[in-house]
Amino acid sequence: MRKSFGDAYAEDLRFVVKQAVGEENFVDMTPNRSNNYCCGGGGGALQAGYHEARRTFGKIKFDQIMATGASYVIAPCHNCHSQIHDLAEHYEGGYHTVHLWTILCLAMGILGPNERAYLGEDLAGLLVPETREAEEDE
Amino acid sequence: MAEEAIKISGKKKSTFLDKVRELLPEGGNLNLCLTCGACSSGCPATGLEGLDPRKFLRMAALGLDEEIQKSNWPWMCTMCWRCIYVCPMKIDIPQLVYHARKLWPRENRPKGIRGSCDMALKHDSCSAMGASEDDFRFVVEDVLEEVRKTQVGWETLEAPINKKGATYFLNQNSREPVTEPDEMVPLWKIMHVVGADWTYGTKGWGAENYCMFLADDEAWKHIVEVKAKAVDDLGCKYWVNTE
Ligand code: SF4
Ligand code: SF4
């Protein structure tokens, strides 16, 4: 946001997320938008090998997340997803980290059974679309 | 705090700051620092390695080039721009950091980042995990076939590859095709639902660019050029980066 399209784009994403999860289920973190903190996974940090420093950097993000009390964090970028997921495990945050596409497809009722790796137990069984056994190739 | 006090020896011998200033528009405003400390208060990398953005900039301003070159801190700054955002003088500290990374001999830069960049240079896929054009095609077609066979209502789902003239060229982080291919499917479904005319490209499908993080300009440029050419060759209008 801060580096590319700016806050107008952040508003668009909020609209999208609220449509999917419902206004009442959306909690913003503080601070937010262009004033938000980087999760600490960017700039090559995930691969740089300074894991302790990366997690210390990310502790701010972790505390922001915990302060929301939310049980799911939506991360549209894969890099952020990996970092925020790692922070949850390392600091035992107990929240789930999901890609935006997961939440969108879940809300539309089209998220297949194999596409739910990051959902928690509470949502894993929700709105599972119909499947059939694969037929053997003739 | 740094472990040892940094001694400033005699006359300024700096060239690092001057060199970076020459490269940046408006010199990155690097000479305009008010030492207010807003950047350091707001930077999540403050305190790591005993440094913070203001200190780092002061080191450069004082000509402590050697100390800058020895510091690991440039690998802890994520170049998130929060410091620029809060800085009253809009000082481009991330660019200073980027050039500090360049002071390291390539072979001494963090192995993980270097390895990911080198992998991406191996194929025109630009995948930092070294997955080739064929690997990608195989995985996408395999996953797609499975979805069509097993998911009711998705018999005609598409994941086009190298479709000429598609409006959107979509790329993909290597971790999906390589380690969790099912995670690509929700994206395909969304594109399907909204009726987007899109395609993957066997060339340039890797979304990531670790050569940029490595501060290897030539390699970074190469990766961007390969990707841009892939989009142009297919005649796509938009390049959609999922990163
Ligand atoms: S916020 Fe800007 S002016 Fe203030 S100390 Fe940092 S770089 Fe200098
Ligand atoms: S760009 Fe680097 S120095 Fe600036 S706030 Fe982000 S991590 Fe800190």
> What confidence tens digit (pLDDT) does each residue in B46-65 have?
999 999 999 999 999 999 99
Low-confidence ranges of chain B (pLDDT < 70): 1-3, 7-14
Residue nearest to atom 2 of ligand 2 (CA): B77
Distance from residue B73's CA to the centre of ligand 2 (Å)? 10
What is the tens place of the pLDDT at every residue in A96-121?
Answer: 999 999 999 999 999 999 999 999 99
Q: Establish if B38 touches chain A: CB-CB under 8 angstroms.
A: no
Pull the structure tokens for residue B107: 């072979």
Q: How far apart are CA A110 and CA B142, in angstroms?
A: 20
Contacts of B153 in chain A (CB under 8 A): 129-130
Same domain, B100 and B117: no
Does residue B4 belong to any structural domain of this protein? no
User: Nearest bound ligand to CA B42?
Assistant: 2
In-domain check, residue B9: no
pLDDT of B13 reads 59
Q: Is residue B6 part of a domain?
A: no
A20, B64 contact by CB (below 8 A): no
Half-sphere exposure of residue B222: CA atoms within 13 angstroms, side-chain side: 18
Where b means 16+ CB within 10 Å and e means fewer, A56-94 reads bbbebbbebbbeeebebbbbbbbbbbbbbbbbbeeeebe
Task: Supply the pLDDT for residue A138.
Answer: 46
Question: How many domains does chain B fold into?
Answer: 2
Query: The whole model's pTM is what?
Result: 0.92
Q: Where are the domains of chain A?
A: 2-137
Give the closest of B79, B110, B186 to A49, CB-based.
Answer: B110
SS3 of B69-81: the string is HHCCHHHCCCCCC
| Cβ neighbour number for residue B180 with a 10 Å cutoff | 13
- Which chain B residues are Cβ-neighbours of A60 within 8 angstroms? 44
Mutation test residue for ligand 2: of B79, B95, B96, the one with most atoms within 8 Å of CB: B79
Range of the domain at B54: 15-104
Residues B100 and B115 reside in one and the same domain: no
Which of residues B88, B104, B120 is at a domain's end?
B104
- State the pLDDT at residue B2: 57
CB contact under 8 A, B193 and A110: yes
Residue B53 belongs to some domain of the structure: yes
B152 and B90 co-located in one domain: no
Does residue B132 share a domain with residue B94? Answer: no
What is the band of A18 on the pLDDT scale with cuts at 50, 70, 90? very high
Residues B137, B216: one domain?
yes
Percent pLDDT > 70 in chain A is: 96
> Is B8 part of any domain?
no
Do B93 and B144 fall within a single domain? Answer: no
Q: Which residue of B has its CA nearest to A130?
A: B152
B28, B95 Cβ separation under 8 angstroms: yes
Nearest to B182 among A56, A78, A115 (CB): A115
Tell me, yes or no, whether B134 and B190 share the same domain.
yes
What pLDDT score was predicted for residue B14?
Answer: 52
B175 C-alpha to ligand 2 centroid (Å): 26
Domain boundary residue, one of B69, B104, B139: B104
The answer to whether B218 faces chain A, any CB pair under 8 Å, is no
**Together in a domain, B142 and B35:** no
Are B76 and B127 contained in the same domain? no
pLDDT band, very low/low/confident/very high, at A69 (cuts 50, 70, 90): very high
Is the shortest distance between the CB of B82 and ligand 2 below 6 Å?
Answer: yes
pLDDT above 90: residue A4 = no
Same domain as B133, residue B60:
no
| Chain B residue whose CA is closest to A80 | B243
C-alpha–C-alpha distance, residues B102 and A113, integer Å = 46
> Does residue B16 contact residue B99 with C-beta atoms inside 8 Å?
yes
